Amino acid sequence: MRHEEYMLHALNTYSENTENGTADLQKTDSKLPQEASKRKAIPIYTGFVKYFPLAIAEVAKISLKGGIQHGQTAQTLHWDRSKSGDELDAMMRHVIDEDWAQVAWRAMANLQKQMENKDD
């Protein structure tokens, strides 16, 4: 889906939710800011996805491969954190092996955990 199509879909969804009276409901599980201006200041698509589409696809493949390795399927894929706790050591092993997709996955896992701990 192109960005313009996504934005049109998001606008239509918002309009439908406004008509249903659900637009005022706030998600409490979001790690993103709730204030619209702060959310819009985070360019997830234009500042990340558009920069690294091939790299993101490779990291997604690593996620699927790891999930299958641990008994998941494409439909049940999730980050089982009990199977993954040594991000930095594992990342360095992948650096030595020059497996850059694995390095990126481990770096993202470590960054995710650091950001979550920052919020606590």
> What is the structure's pLDDT at 30?
74
Q: How far apart are CA 14 and CA 11, in angstroms?
A: 5
The pTM of this model reads 0.71
Q: Is 72 left (phi over 0), alpha (psi -120 to 50) or beta?
A: beta
Q: Which residues of the chain have pLDDT under 50?
A: 1, 6, 14-15, 17-28
Q: Output the pLDDT for position 13.
A: 52
pLDDT score at 27: 39
- Please tell me the predicted confidence (pLDDT) of residue 24: 43
- What mean pLDDT value characterizes the chain? 83
22 sits in the region (left: phi over 0; alpha: psi -120 to 50; else beta) called alpha
Residues 6+ away with beta carbon under 8 Å from 87: 106, 107, 109, 110, 113
d(CA 64, CA 51): 22
Q: Which residues contact 77 (CB under 8 A, 6 or more apart)?
A: 63, 64, 67
pLDDT at 17: 46
Are 66 and 79 contacting, i.e. CB atoms less than 8 angstroms apart? no
Q: State residue 111's pLDDT score.
A: 95
What pLDDT, on a 0 to 100 scale, did the predictor assign at position 83? Answer: 84
